[in-house]
Structure 1
Amino acid sequence: MTKEMEISYREEQARIDKKEAGSFIADLKSLFKGPVLIANALPVFVGFWLALYFTDGSLLANSQLFWLTIIGSTVLMGGALVLNNWYDVDIDTVMKRTQKRPTVTGHFSLKTVLTIGIVLSVIGMVMLFFTTIEAAVYGFIGWFTYVIMYTMWTKRKYTLNTVIGSISGAVTPLIGWAAIAPAYHIVPVVLFLILFIWQMPHTFAIAIRKYDEYKAADVAMLPVVRGIRMTKRQMFVYVACLLPLPFYLGSLGMAFVILATLLNIGYVAMSIGGFFTKDDYRWATMMFFYSVNYIAILFLLMVAVTLPIF
């Protein structure tokens, strides 16, 4: 082999290795549903942060507890999401948006995925037990409702699946708060309600956008079972239920209440617009992106208004 051929071979091998590494990372992101995992970690952090704020605690003094809470809850949620991928492989094969998941492509064997899901779930629970029992209980509730109640029981059979699934996401700020103090304070309760209610129109927007895929996979999402018109009405009701909640968080300051209320008014206006649109897909897409930005801005705002400079 000439020197030029050897260099060419090495370059080609490097390109192949880079492509395989990129594919592996993409598979991991898909397996762990990266964006969903990150989105669920934020409320845990906010719950922890606000608990410190209301108990005059210090993040630096509780740094070890902070990392146990964040890493433990994230690992536990990651385990739940992996188990969801393992169980849903049959419908993921039908739905276009999930056909690249490694469970469908065969890049990861189902036995491997099941093992990863169980191991991560156990590790996450153990880590949360080193915070407080209450935080671990909320973590288990989130895991159980998502894996057992939602994935394995209601998702394919009942439109109630969205309500059940919303519980698992709504307990996340309770995990963070309970690591510092008991979560019977009004603030973590309202955070739970915000997340629980918000997930309904958020998920319905996804279901409208992916109506054909859910129908093909025979998943009992509300638009498929009861129609898009009914779904729009329920979305409006849930969004309207968010309106009074910022007023229960007056302890975060008037600036927060005003800004959160403006976000809610915008959300209500968009949901009303759904009754007059002719392009349901476009409207649902707008509702989806508004909901994603809504919850991120709202929770980051809670941190911003409780920084020492305020």
Structure 2
Amino acid sequence: MKKVLITGSNGLLGQKLIKKLKDNKAIELFATGRGESRLPESWQGDYEWISLDVCDKSAVLELIAKKIPDCVIHTAAMTQVDDCEADQNACWESNVTAVRNLIEACEKNQVHLIHLSTDFIFDGKDGPYDESASANPVNYYGETKLAAEELIKASKCKWAIARTVLVYGVAADMSRSNIILWVKNSLEQRKKINVVTDQWRTPTLAEDLAEGCILLMEKGSEGIFNISGEDFLTPYDMAMQTAEYFGLDKSMIKKADSSNFSQPAKRPMKTGFVIDKAKRELGYSPKSFMDGIGILSKQLKLADS
């Protein structure tokens, strides 16, 4: 039986991983997160919940030594880009110190560490990027994620880095919004929205990202893998596809460019990923953005029922 420990299990990706792995009888599953579990009560019994602050080095070392998992999938992070810019100490603690703690624990116990990273390590001048592209972050969040990658690459543990882009999905407690929900709710309320046309991404369905992480775990893969969607879209494109899917009024969606918005943290303009390596080596196969909208729509109906 394989032992798998997930950090950040209350988060969107963490929830999707727990849901996908909890019924696998070949896996002993440890779900960890800060404080109490926010996972659905109906999921109880298929995994063990353990409260863990990954920034607490002694707690991390003690837990990994006690459970000795075969694999740790590290999803916990501070990801709100503007918050990271405003509170750089907290961001470094969450995104770098925590990774250093996990590396030490994984090295001591021969654990396969799968770490989640981001397109925001790039400057956005010439995306979409493959795994060999040179990093050059334009904000503090990107700097911390790059620093964490460098620590992992220099470590002595078996490691894989899963880089991803603009993850969207529905959390079990509906605690997270995303571009699809924002566009749908705004247009249903007959609100005009301004959406940028000069930023490019390959948006990633949370279920697809979870599947990519599981493939890395199952295959014991090592190295850097781009795990994202395949459609290369602007937020305006995403908004138009959302309106199309739900039959909403597209004329309420107005084109804008990034200079219309003032945000504390600079955003890279053109990122997105080339995912050929993940398709070839892992058998990774993401949904189209339109199919992703359909999956979210079904989940919203289930949440309402």
TM bucket, shorter chain: 0.3 to 0.5
Task: Answer with 1 or 2: which has the greater Rg.
Answer: 1
Larger helix proportion, structure 1 or 2? 1
TM-score (norm 2): 0.33
TM-score (norm 1): 0.33
Larger strand proportion, structure 1 or 2? 2
